[in-house]
Amino acid sequence: MTLSPEVVLRAQRAALENAVAHDGVARTAAVVGRILATDPSLRSRADEVRTLVSDFVASLEGVPAPELSDRLDRLGGPEAARPAPERSEGGVFPDLPGGVDGKVVMRLAPFPNGVMHIGHGRLLYVHDYYRQRYHGKILLVFDDTIGSAEKRPEAEFYDLIQRDCELAGVRPDRVLYKSDRVEAEYPWARRVIEKGAAYVCRCPAETLRESRASGTACPERAQTPAETLAEWERMLGNAYGPGEAVLRLRTDLADPDPAFRDRVLFRVSDLDHPRVGRKYTVWPTLEFSWAVDDIELGVTHVLRGKELVIEDRMQRYIWDLLGITGPPFLHWGLLRVREAKVAKSKANREIRSGLYDGWADPRTWSLRSLDRRGISMEALRSFILSFGLSLSDIEVAAETLYSENRRRIDAATPRRAYVQDPVPVDVEGYPFDLKAVPLPNHPDRQELGQRTVRAGPSLYLARKDVLAHLGEEVRLKDLVNVRLPPAAPESPEPVHAEFTSRENRKLPRLQWVARDGAVPVDILGIEGSHSHGFAERAVGGARPREILQFERVGFVRIDGDWQPGTSPVRSVYGHP
């Protein structure tokens, strides 16, 4: 069965749009990602779509940029490039084992050492999906136990993470803190000790690692429960300093997974905690604290990434030991956006050094950075949920997310003229009566109205366009035809072009901005670089956080803290 003519048309248009946006070189992976994102029914035929796109992209090699633009124009409006029906969330989500409507309780457990980024999208939206499906509750429980000097909770992120949840539209039903529950963990430790299943180990850290790797028993493993209880009380009484004693769980020293051999349950720490200071010196590990809190907080289902299966095993081991039935675990695989280089520790360093523009810097790929770029959280939600609850690791191009966002914002986003790296141009013989032209705010949405754009003999053109068409006749988009000079321009002198005609002929089309009333614009790019240019006068009246589409560039959002009336207009690039 061959792909339908409608699919072929959408693929051709998407490839041409991509080629025009990238200096004539279309990117097959991005085009395929866009097609599959806008029509989930094609995912089962991804290989056919990839072959179709690859062949068409190959046919575009060497085609001049003006011809690409002309072909794109001949294919019709953007509605031809997307399927008509509304896309559903589409992913497969199994029933929660034993899930009862109105009784489901789940928990989000962020560690407060950074904000929430695109990788946390699955955590947020999968939980929220099941909350809505079962009319349940979500607990936001900060996983702020003290682990090591290298990974410590930081005060600022408690509030920032809650604001991230608000931004994402996933509001927890209750907020709790592990640091408030440390004393609640101690009786559980005593119960484990009384079962003869734990001992206090005073081996150096290096010895701990070596014995675990070799399956060698620590001499103190032979402690009786009474001896361990006495040592445990000494730990609680500050008899030991950091690294001098830990409470370890007795497991099989021949376990095939060395990491599961006699794991640590509690450590001694003298680090200052941002919420409770030095109130506690004996801190539980995360898996032990969850074995306790998932029971005491009434969690009915634990949803987490499949990389945390050892935590599942630890919790079950402790529950089985104490004769407790705990909640079931459900897992998902890694969902990675290819272009997103997410590293909380690196982002934290770069922000503190001043290299990054805060947590909303596009390079962090944080939720707030996506919002700053004009990518809606509803688009992110739909993107995330389209993959369902799958154990398979998934890697997708960012274009898949961009397609979802484009589908939501395109119809309501006004177009504006913008020229990057501008060159001043004077058109000799320009018609004296052509001082302005009426242009639609959107080529396919008459209801968005139109604006009057200043024109005239003094214009700005993009430097790359001028250099690409020296000595050629070109059409200034929606205006007139001119012939560019044969020699490269010498800054800052204006380039002299010659008016040739008004008729809309088949010529390379160049974007222009009238120098009279031109507005300086700064665009912050995804990789942190800044580009500069001029936009038409209407951009000067934009509002902070307004989304615009700069023609032949892409969607941008006016920066939220830009002050109207100041120059330049500061904006952030969203996507093509």
d(CA 352, CA 357): 10
Q: Are 203 and 211 in contact (CB under 8 A)?
A: yes
Instruction: Tell whether the torsion through CA atoms of 192, 197, 202 and 205 is positive or negative.
Output: negative
Written as six digits, the tokens of 327 are 């909640």
Q: Which of 418, 481, 410 is nearest to 453 (CA)?
A: 418
Those residues whose C-beta lies under 8 Å from the C-beta of residue 162, and which sit 6 or more positions away, are 140, 172, 175
DSSP for 178-240, written as a single string: GGGSHHHHHHHHHHHHHTT-EEEE---HHHHHHHHHHTPPPGGGG--HHHHHHHHHHHHTT-S
Compute the C-alpha angle 501/507/511, nearest 5°: 90
Q: Which residues of the chain have pLDDT under 70?
A: 1, 21-23, 37-41, 43-44, 66, 69-70, 73-90, 148-149
| Residues 407 and 399 sit within 8 Å (Cβ to Cβ) | no
C-alpha 568: how far from chain center? 28
| Local structure of 269: helix, strand or coil | coil
CA distances to 191, 290, 563 from 320, rounded to whole Å, are 13, 14, 61
Q: Please tell me the predicted confidence (pLDDT) of residue 490.
A: 76
pTM: 0.82
Q: Are 96 and 130 in contact (CB under 8 A)?
A: yes
CA distances from 575 to 125, 355, 396, 526 (A): 23, 23, 16, 9
Task: Extract the runs of DSSP E, i.e. beta strands, from 127-187.
Answer: 137-142, 174-177
What's residue 37's pLDDT? 58
Domain chopping of the chain, boundaries: 5-85, 94-332
Helices (H), 430-526: 463-468
What pLDDT, on a 0 to 100 scale, did the predictor assign at position 49?
A: 85
Tell whether the torsion through CA atoms of 353, 359, 362 and 365 is positive or negative.
positive
Instruction: Identify the CA nearest to 60 among candidates 18, 90, 3.
Output: 18
CATH class of 94-332: alpha beta
